[in-house]
A and B are shown apart, each in its own frame.
Chain A
């Protein structure tokens, strides 16, 4: 018997073929941090994307995620990607991964990043990320590279950041760049 009309899209296609041999497709595409008010606080893209496309994707994805209710599941299908997100106080941490990537480990990757921020800033809040954005990026870079986890040890990552901070203090007087900006 033939099937009627058009075939239905099958979102589990990717999983299906994962079972039969991965042909690629298991990396993080990008990570976004945005506030409940829909303000983007940090963005990291692991695949070259045009600025226009980035803006479109950010807008679209924020809308989808912000519309979701608290007890809903942390994963959703979006375009051809899987989105894993978690809310910490006022901030949403949101990762887009490919079809064969592991959702739960991505969720914990978000948590580990939050722990790193927390440890570094000492009870991190959204404002820390706004005004020490460069630190948030540096910590993320030490943790993830090219969309893959570089080191899962909290100690290793923080050691790298602390070393960099030491270098900074050797470099110049202790006032931070951002304090300087405040005085501008």
Chain B
């Protein structure tokens, strides 16, 4: 009971709840959890026995017990019975019984199909009852459950209720929102038709409640069917205009704390964001007037001191600003919006400061307002330092990131680093990434970049992911102007008594490569460098120690004078007999190498790393991620051999891309594994198991369209050459080239056995639909394939119009006594007919906006299936065929691309945008093309790649 006295009034006088006092006997508030559970179990047993009892319960008792079950459920206990009794209540003629029945169904519905049928029946009766109260209950129930079964049963009926002349206003409102709910989950069941034009005219309805509900419905429908609802724009503008110019009392009960119809205003402004600026000059002028009025009102003195007044007023203002940003066409309005937000940045209300920071982020990406946003940099930096609420500080970080450009990068990066020292743990990793991205993007002077990253490691070493420190090494290796500085800086940083392991890694790597550049200074002589690194050795994890051992052998080459010191270390028991196999092997091999190899050989083997290729091969990286480090090289070699066998050694697939010099996610950054003399090849047994892996990957691919075939198919979406299929008998390789709407594909069939294949017949199978859009021509191959031999088949390809499916390649032959039948999907996909198009940011967004018709857009949000790596993603987008446009998206984390799909009949311009969300490990992919099916297909294909 003690708890009851704690309750205070919310808005008025304290009055103890009247109905409550007797309930307190029933429900022991404030008693122990055990007492509560005991009481509830007793009650549940009682209700169960009543429901099972011989005596039929009357409606009143049924309602009472169903209501109790609900109560118990809402206290947080599980309820597994009573559903049937609740359904029975639905058919009662008594309002309260029906109402409790519906409430139970809404709160506790399960997908028991038998029950759904009964529920639907009851709903159907109530909808037909013409009793507005019953109709309301039924519509609410449909909206609350919203399942597909319900959509199927009622989606056809509800539009009729909505537009019928004699439907009461309250039912219309319910019907509109109920339909909206069904449309969201099951748009396929909601038929467009005559009713749509009548729904649009509800925007003119006298009853503002009806207009509000209808606006919500129209907004959602218009997103998918903009043409159908185009007339809503002018109606929405005139409605909005009437609201914003009305006196605060005109709208009576729809005025909220002196703000006329704020909810409806927000909704109308949102509806307008489904469309580009109105074409009709009069409508456009009227809308501009509305927006100006809203901006003007923000400057007027408030009509009330209540926070509700200013919240409602500002809700409309922020939505108006969203619309201004969406149109992105009136520089005057954009700058006014920016100034308004600037005022809010210093407002005493935390909520307004938060929203202003958030809204400014989007303004920063508009060319008209980017400069205006930048003028607020000091305020934002101040917010970062003084805001007490972490979510507001987070917004400030986002805004700094969005407003960053070459002119202010140094200041912003410095402030972010500053903030990082005290930042919440929850947002540190994000800040680290942002700093790393900005530092690299806007580095003019690479010494600044190196300092920044080392600072990152010093301040937040735990949050510096591998990608970040790999990247600093890549940059140092590729730029000789910064190498000496980097060596000096890491050497100094390593002097700190406690330094982060990531710093040891970076330091070890850089000194191993460029330690000689600072060795002239007696304060950083070779021996001092070595001793400094080795003093950290024992505190480090195995991968770091492995890296340091590689640094030591590099030192042997760089500094012959300390060779014996290093050999002593390598020879010590703690190295040679280390329990870790990798460390032991490195020590043994490096020691041996340093003893037997001549200076020349040493110099060759341990030569400075060559510059990293600008782009990592996507297939290689993908393999690495899949198979894990270490095994990669071997697997690659195997594949390489096969490919060159097959194609007469001319194969130049991305698989062959410089294996040795590509950064691998192992600690072996020196890439010594690939050097011939060190012979760190794994023991034969592991090579054997790798081969098995390769086979088992596709061993199950036997007709018709075996599992795994889809995966192999997907791998070819972004590349043209490679092995499509392989089992113990047969290997199928592909090599293809495409130009405009034409292509040629070489298919290589390799007989892996020593026995002949007889009656060897590959066939290309296209559905009728596919035949009309894709023309494939080929000649039959020799029906006999000798053991160990390879035959080649050429397919000429012509794309007539865009297409969805892929052709099937079926191969039948006899091997020994058995008949073999294999089907695989042949990777001829729509994106092969891409021609990349370069364009500037401005052009891109202009075109993007031109393709704003929702049918032209296809969007997919999906979970990352592979580690999210920028370089791999870029390579894939390029492999996909579009141009990768740099410095177009205001957010550098996003990827945008553009290209033209060539078909015989037409050319289709395509824009794409990929937005990674690292935190959620998700991507959002948006495709905009002038043709719906193209958007759809490209989106499908590309979504599978990440």
Contacts and interface: CB of A to CB of B under 8 A. Distances in A.
Contact of A11 (B184, B353, B394, B466): B394
A91 to B, nearest CB: 8
Contacts of B892: 3, 7
B177 A148 contact: yes
B266 interface: yes
A167 B64 CA distance: 17
Contacts of A168: 95-96
Interface string A126-139: 11101111100110
Interface stretch (B431-439, B535-543, B579-587, B632-640): B431-439
14 contacts: A2-B870, A6-B465, A7-B433, A12-B398, A21-B326, A108-B311, A118-B10, A123-B15, A125-B15, A149-B212, A150-B174, A152-B261, A153-B208, A178-B19
Contacts of A114: 10-11
Contacts of B392: 73
Contacts of B22: 179, 182-183
Contacts, number: 379
Interface in A99-127: 100, 102-105, 107-109, 111-112, 114-115, 118, 121-127
B189 interface: no
A131 B17 contact: yes
Contacts of A145: 139-140, 143, 173-174, 177-178, 181, 213
Interface residues of B, number: 149
Interface string B306-346: 00100110111011001001101000000000000000000
A163 B29 CA distance: 32
Contact of B918 (A9, A76, A88, A126): A9
A18 interface: yes
Contacts of B919: 9, 11
A56 interface: no
B246 interface: no
Contacts of B308: 108, 111
A146 B177 contact: yes
A163 B133 contact: yes
Nearest to B921: A9
B351 A104 contact: yes
Interface string A21-54: 1111011000000000001111100101000000
A171 B94 contact: yes
Contacts of A104: 311-312, 314-315, 318, 351, 355
A40 B99 contact: no
Contacts of A133: 70-71, 74
B20 interface: yes
B9 A152 contact: no
Interface in B895-946: 915-920, 922, 924, 926
Contact of B70 (A48, A108, A134): A134
Interface in B166-194: 170, 173-174, 177-178, 180-181, 184-185
Contacts of A123: 9-15
B633 to A, nearest CB: 23
Output the residue of B213, B849, B890 with the most chain A CB within 10 A. B213
Interface in B529-563: none
B56 interface: no
B100 interface: yes
Contacts of A132: 17, 19
Contact of A177 (B67, B144, B366, B871): B67
B177 A105 contact: no
Given A5-B433, A5-B436, A105-B266, A72 B389 contact: yes
B355 A182 contact: no
Nearest to B851: A21
Given A27-B184, A177-B64, A112 B143 contact: no
B216 interface: yes
A4 B468 contact: yes
B507 interface: no
B848 interface: yes
Contacts of B311: 104, 107-108
B294 interface: no
Nearest to B71: A133
A63 interface: no
Contacts of B6: 90
A18 to B, nearest CB: 6
A164 interface: yes
A130 B70 CA distance: 12
Contacts of A126: 7
